[in-house]
């Protein structure tokens, strides 16, 4: 396994730029195209815990299922939101990067630099 893992959507410019920045820093990450191979519920929960952020921070608001399912409504519990992300992986915001130094939703892209080991 690589020292760096990126949950990536090649159609997303932010995700592509983050991947490019990781490579410019001398790392060849494990690339998980999460729309093709979505994380299961256990993996998604572990990612959110490792990022230490509220579930809603990982929820992508600018996509059809978000609007169609009415996910802006505060009635949804974290568990329900996670279930929606498992069922509709497009709801997972990206890019998520994981290293030994932690995990983060890398927006802005430069925030990935804080996750990369200094000695490569």
**Cα-based angle 21, 9, 96 (whole degrees, multiple of 5):** 60
In the chain, where are the structural domains located?
A: 1-34+94-120
Identify the CATH number of the domain defined by range 1-34+94-120.
3.40.30.10
Using a cut of 0.85, tell me whether the model's pTM lies above it: yes
In tens digits, the chain (120 residues) has pLDDT values of 569 999 999 999 999 999 999 999 999 999 999 999 999 999 999 999 999 999 999 999 999 999 999 999 999 999 999 999 999 999 999 999 999 999 999 999 999 999 998 865
At residue 30, the 3 state secondary structure works out as strand
For 65, the token pair is: 């299922």
Active site residue 12: yes
Active-site pick, 12, 45, 46, 55? 12
Report CA Rg, the chain: 14
- Rounded Cα distance, 76 and 64, in Å: 17
């Amino acid at each position: 396994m690589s020292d760096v893992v990126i949950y990536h959507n090649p159609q997303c410019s932010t995700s592509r730029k983050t991947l490019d920045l990781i490579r410019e820093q001398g790392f060849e990450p494990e690339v998980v195209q999460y729309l093709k191979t979505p994380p299961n519920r256990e993996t998604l929960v572990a990612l959110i815990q490792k990022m230490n952020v509220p579930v809603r921070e990982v929820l992508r608001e600018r996509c059809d299922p978000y609007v169609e399912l009415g996910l802006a409504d505060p009635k949804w519990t974290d568990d329900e939101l996670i279930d929606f992300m498992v069922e509709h992986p497009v709801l997972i915001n990206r890019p998520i990067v994981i290293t030994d130094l932690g995990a983060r939703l890398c927006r802005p892209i430069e925030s990935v630099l804080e996750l990369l080991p200094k000695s490569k």
